[in-house]
């Protein structure tokens, strides 16, 4: 079967790849582009660790058919750092011990970024709702919620 | 195994491609089909997509509401005129799933999913599917009863009449994880009251049978009576009639039968 040519923007850079029919975006990002920041968790939409932003909207890359993102803009955790500096959310996650094993962290950070891009000063309930599609088995969520609230409050870089 | 993806600009072309290939499946938001592909479902060799703007249209200004099959739950939540559907839309997945999952796809979602469809069943929705000559309307109950045979059918839209008042329509999903989680049971009730009496009660249940079903005995217990402690108790005790819940990791069939009447009583009496 022939491969399908596919072009899209990946963290602000144009990329062109060839995918097999039915390939999901997560596989395209990891295996064809080499961006290992989105993780494979459940493959069912239950865990959220493959979360990426498509045209600024939070999506699950493992449930996204790669060819549907032609011409669109994909943001992953790899594009979050600002030059040599961590993004305020990443800094807050480190300061608040919001990552233990780290497997959920890429998805948590993208879900948090998606929230703060729309709502720079969310309530605690809004933070809980924003990460409700992301499973963490280590932290018990409290440090993650606190980190996101701290990043929103601008205290993370202090 | 590679899958052939066929993308069409119009829904009617996509419907034609679906009806001519028995193994083809329609790809809406991806939360069902990609999941099957990720699990290695070899029964799916062709997926069909349509980039037709008609599929993502929302008509919500009048008393009759129509949602294109490709409307996502995030869009339902963003629409102020669809306030009565916000509770069921919000009960589905996390934000990413709501940005992807569609109203049309939810009609096909197996237990413990398909919560939006429970609300649509209580609201006596009509499902519009692409037929040989244009579109065809099917009552949602009939559509669900024949759901297994509908995989080659392209759903174009669903429509329902707006509930007469906010109190007339109630929805509750019972999940083990809050605010997100698969359904233990899902309940929706439309109890319009006219002259102090219930006229046209419809109660729909999710995860109480292989597909979403109506609790007809409970409806009969309410019909023509006032919504009071006695009629609510009668409806609650009749809630399990005709149900055939299954065991799964979220709850046993026994547990579902035990709680459905309790939650129906709470739903109808306005308790949290």
pLDDT tens across B157-205, in order? 999 999 989 999 999 999 998 777 899 999 999 999 999 999 999 999 9
Per-residue pLDDT tens digits for B93-114: 999 999 999 999 999 999 999 9
* Mean pLDDT value across residues B40-63: 94
Give the distance from residue B233's alpha carbon to the nearest chain A alpha carbon, in angstroms: 34
Interface residues of chain A, partner chain B, Cβ below 8 Å: 1, 4, 20-22, 24, 43-45, 48, 51, 57-60, 62-65, 67-68, 111, 114-115, 128-134
Per-residue pLDDT tens digits for B134-157: 789 999 999 999 988 877 789 999
- Subunit contact A45:B31, Cβ cutoff 8 A: yes
* Chain A residues with beta carbon closer than 8 angstroms to that of B4: 1, 21
What mean pLDDT is reported for chain B?
A: 94
pLDDT given for residue A113 in this prediction: 98
Nearest to A114 among B1, B95, B180 (CB): B95
Q: Does B5 lie at the interface with A, CB-CB under 8 angstroms?
A: yes
Per-residue pLDDT tens digits for A116-132: 999 999 999 999 999 99
* Mean pLDDT value across residues B72-95: 97
Per-residue pLDDT tens digits for B201-246: 999 999 999 999 999 999 999 999 999 999 999 999 999 999 999 9
Measured distance CA(B230)–CA(B221) in Å, rounded: 10
pLDDT given for residue B167 in this prediction: 92
- By 3-state DSSP, what share of chain A in percent is helix, strand and coil, each rounded to 5? 35, 20, 45
How does residue A158 score in pLDDT terms, banded at 50, 70 and 90?
A: very low
Report pTM: 0.95
Q: B residues 181-240 near A, CB within 8 Å?
A: none
> Above 50 in pLDDT, residue A157?
no
pLDDT given for residue B131 in this prediction: 73
> Above 80 in pLDDT, residue B132?
no
Measured distance CA(B219)–CA(A75) in Å, rounded: 49
Q: Does B39 lie at the interface with A, CB-CB under 8 angstroms?
A: yes
Burial tier of B148 (Cβ tally within 10 Å: 0-12, 13-18, 19+): exposed
ipTM: 0.94
* Mean pLDDT value across residues B33-49: 92
pLDDT given for residue A1 in this prediction: 60
Q: Does B100 lie at the interface with A, CB-CB under 8 angstroms?
A: yes
Residue of A nearest to B31 (CA): A63
């Amino acid at each position: 079967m022939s491969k399908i040519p596919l072009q899209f923007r990946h963290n602000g850079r144009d990329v062109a790849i060839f995918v097999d029919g039915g390939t999901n975006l997560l596989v395209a990002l990891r295996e064809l582009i080499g961006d290992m920041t989105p993780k494979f968790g459940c493959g069912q939409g239950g865990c959220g660790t493959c979360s990426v932003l498509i045209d600024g909207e939070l999506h699950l890359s493992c449930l996204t058919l790669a060819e549907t993102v032609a011409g669109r803009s994909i943001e992953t955790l790899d594009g979050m750092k600002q030059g040599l500096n961590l993004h305020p959310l990443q800094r807050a996650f480190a300061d608040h011990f919001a990552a233990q094993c780290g497997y959920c962290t890429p998805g948590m950070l993208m879900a948090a970024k998606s929230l703060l891009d729309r709502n720079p000063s969310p309530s605690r309930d809004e933070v809980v709702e924003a990460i409700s599609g992301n499973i963490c088995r280590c932290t018990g969520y409290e440090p993650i919620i606190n980190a996101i609230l701290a990043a929103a409050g601008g205290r993370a870089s202090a | 195994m590679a899958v052939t993806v066929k993308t069409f600009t119009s829904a009617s072309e996509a419907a034609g491609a679906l009806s001519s290939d028995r193994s083809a499946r329609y790809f809406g938001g991806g939360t069902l089909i990609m999941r099957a592909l990720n699990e290695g479902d070899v029964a799916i060799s062709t997926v069909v997509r349509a980039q037709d703007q008609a599929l993502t249209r929302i008509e919500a200004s009048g008393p009759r509401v129509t949602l294109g099959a490709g409307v996502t739950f995030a869009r339902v939540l963003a629409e102020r005129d669809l306030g009565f559907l916000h509770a069921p839309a919000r009960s589905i997945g996390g934000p990413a799933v709501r940005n992807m999952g569609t109203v049309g796809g939810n009609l096909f979602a197996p237990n413990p999913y398909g919560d939006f469809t429970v609300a649509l069943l209580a609201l006596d929705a009509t499902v519009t599917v692409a037929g040989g000559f244009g579109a065809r309307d099917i009552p949602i109950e009939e559509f669900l009863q024949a759901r297994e045979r509908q995989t080659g059918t392209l759903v174009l839209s669903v429509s329902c009449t707006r509930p007469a008042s906010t109190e007339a329509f109630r929805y509750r999903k019972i999940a083990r994880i809050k605010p997100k989680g698969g359904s233990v049971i899902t309940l929706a009730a439309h109890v319009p009251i006219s002259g102090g009496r219930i006229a046209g009660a419809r109660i729909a249940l999710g995860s109480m049978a292989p597909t979403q079903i109506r609790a007809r005995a409970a409806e009969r217990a309410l019909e023509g009576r006032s919504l009071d402690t006695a009629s609510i108790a009668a409806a609650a005790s009749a809630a399990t009639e005709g149900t055939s819940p299954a065991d799964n990791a979220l709850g046993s069939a026994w547990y579902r039968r035990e709680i459905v009447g309790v939650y129906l009583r709470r739903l109808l009496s306005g308790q949290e």
